Amino acid sequence: MASWGKCDFSEFRAMADRFRNAVEIKASEQFTREVLQELGNMLLRRTKRRTPVDTGQLRRTWFITSVRQRGDMFEIEIYNNTEYAPWVENGHRVVVHGETVGWCEGFFMLRLSVIDVERLAPEVIGKRSNQFLRRLMNGGST
């Protein structure tokens, strides 16, 4: 019987084991949390930067939660607990002596920042995915 040669599959098996372990030890979940936190922080920075400043109260009161998992969904929340934040964001009527005399346009600091981050998200996720896969392929810890 003719022999075609020998092939050492040990490195391939080791790489397959690293992938299997990554799934088993929830490395992909950790990856998701890290990426979502990065995108959330990016959103928070952009929103604060767009927030108009009078006293600074509105800008100081933007907050972000930690990443939460609900079923197979991950979420992060950005919020502002200042009472007048929705009116600055979305605009409001100008009322003088009970009569509407105009409209104050909103700043849309959160809405515009969400659009920015949604546009940048594929690049951020792609970069982080490549790093994650490179660590798995090279045997580094995730």
Flag whether 111 is in a domain.
yes
Greater confidence (6 vs 56) lies with: 56
pLDDT single digits (tens) 82-105: 999 999 999 999 999 999 999 999
| Predicted local distance difference test score (pLDDT) of residue 77 | 97
Report the pLDDT averaged over residues 109-136. Answer: 93
- In the chain, how many domains are there? 1
- Copy the structure tokens of residue 20: 């299997």
Element (H, E) at 104: strand 99-105
Flag whether 19 is in a domain.
yes
d(CA 87, CA 112): 15
Sequence-ordered list of residues with C-beta below 8 angstroms from that of 64, at least 6 positions apart, any chain: 40, 41, 43, 44, 76, 77, 78, 79
Flag whether 2 is in a domain.
no
Confidence of residue 136 (pLDDT cuts 50, 70, 90): confident
Confidence of residue 132 (pLDDT cuts 50, 70, 90): confident
Flag whether 53 is in a domain.
yes
Parallel/antiparallel/unpaired status of strands 68-70 and 73-75: antiparallel
Average pLDDT, the chain: 89
Q: Which structural domain, as residue segments, surrounds residue 131?
A: 10-138
Flag whether 5 is in a domain.
no
Amino acid at 56: G
Flag whether 134 is in a domain.
yes
Minimum mean pLDDT among 38-42, 107-111, 131-135: which range? 131-135
- Copy the structure tokens of residue 127: 């970069």
Flag whether 67 is in a domain.
yes
Flag whether 46 is in a domain.
yes
Parallel/antiparallel/unpaired status of strands 78-80 and 73-75: unpaired
Element (H, E) at 15: helix 10-24
d(CA 89, CA 114): 13
pLDDT single digits (tens) 2-48: 556 566 767 767 777 777 776 655 777 888 999 999 999 999 999 99
| Predicted local distance difference test score (pLDDT) of residue 17 | 75
